[in-house]
Amino acid sequence: MARCVATAIILVCVATMVTIFASGSLAAGSGVASSTSSPAGTGPPDPAAATQAFGRWLHARYGSVRGYWTCPLAQRYDNRIDCLAEVQVAETRHLTAATATLSGAHVVFSRIRDKTWVQRWSPYSRRYLSGPQSFNVPGTASENSPAFDWAFIAQGAAGEWRRYSAFHVDGYDGYAKGWSRFFDFACSVHRRLVVCANSFGDAMRYRPLP
């Protein structure tokens, strides 16, 4: 993926990966049957039908949830479509990924990955700025969600905060079309503090070195 894309407001493309835990496969239950435009078992689910089924599956799994979920057309491959959600149950947030396929006329989900947290700010620390790919960003940072790789995002912020008062960092390592609400982090500079957040308020506060 291109590291940087020039736009009116600089869009910094930084490779990072959402850190969500793998769990066992789980098929959608009886409440998740959806008719689709695809012949039974011959192709991937229709994106709109998969998104609706994913919402019902999330409610069945977690109870009464609020948030956002999608199975976008851009994430459709072969006979599957990849889905992603950030939902909230009381104070607990879930970042849930799943793969949707067809079983007859039903949409079923497998390869479930889920990360849970309560959104609160962590103490400032160096540990959020050291990543697995030898990223070692100078300064300290605080985050309110463990579901994202803040070292990669901070690497992008560190390269731009002196030049721009507002910019964007792409927080996904790969093809993220259709998932911008999760991985597009808008950053703003407040003196020597850089705040980067996505549309759900998952955020990092970065204090660069002088």
Residue 134: the pLDDT is 56
Structural domain range at position 199: 4-18+120-207
Residues 74, 127 within the same domain: no
Residue 30: the pLDDT is 27
Residues 56, 92 within the same domain: yes
In angstroms, what CA-CA distances link 3 with 6, 13, 37, 46, 160?
A: 10, 5, 37, 32, 13
Residues 30, 101 within the same domain: yes
Residues 170, 108 within the same domain: no
Tens-place pLDDT, residues 101-110: 999 989 999 9
Tens-place pLDDT, residues 116-150: 999 999 999 998 988 666 578 899 999 999 999 89
pTM of the predicted model over 0.85: no
SS3 for 60? helix
In the chain, % helix, strand, coil (3-state, to 5) comes to 20, 35, 45
190 Cβ contact list (under 8 Å, min separation 6): none
| Residue for token pair 């507002």 | 166
Q: What's the CA gap between 94 and 72, in Å, rounded?
A: 19
SS3 for 131? coil
- Count how many domains the chain has: 2
Residues 26, 96 within the same domain: yes
SS3 for 132? coil
Residues 104, 126 within the same domain: no
Domain boundary among 65, 83, 118: 118
